[in-house]
A and B are shown apart, each in its own frame.
Chain A
Amino acid sequence: MANKGSNFDTTVLIKGGRVVDPSQGLDLAGADVLIVDGKVAKVGAGVAVHPAAKGARVIDAAGLVVTPGLIDMHTHLRDPGFEYKEDIVSGTRAAAHGGFTTICSMPNTNPVPDNQAIVRYIRQKAAAAGYCNVYPIGAVSKGSKGEEMAEIGDMVLEGAVAFSDDGLPVWNSELMRQALTYAKPFGAPIISHSEDKSLAEGGQMHEGYWSMVLGLRGIPAAAEEVMIARDLILAELTGGHIHVAHVSTRGSVDLIRRAKERAKRVAETAAAGGHGRPFRVTAECTPNHVTLTDKAVYDSKYDTNTKVNPPLRTGDDVAALKEALADGTIDVIASDHAPHHFDEKDVEYSYAPNGLSCIEVSLALAITALVEPGVLTLPQLVDRMTTAPARVLGLKGKGSLAPGSDGDVTVLDPKARVKVDLSTWYSKGKNAPYQGFELVGQAIHTVLGGRLVMEDGVLRA
Chain B
Amino acid sequence: MALIEKAQIIDADGVRRALVRIAHEIVERNKGTENVVLIGIRRRGVPLAQRLSRFIKEVEGVEIPVGVLDITLYRDDLSTLASQPVVHKTEVPVAIQGKTLILVDDVLYTGRTVRAALDAIIDLGRPAVIQLAVLIDRGHRELPIRADYVGKNVPTSKREVIEVRLEEVDRVNGVWIMEKPE
Query: In their complex, do chains A and B touch, with some C-beta pair under 8 Å?
Result: no
B interface list, Cβ under 8 A from A: none
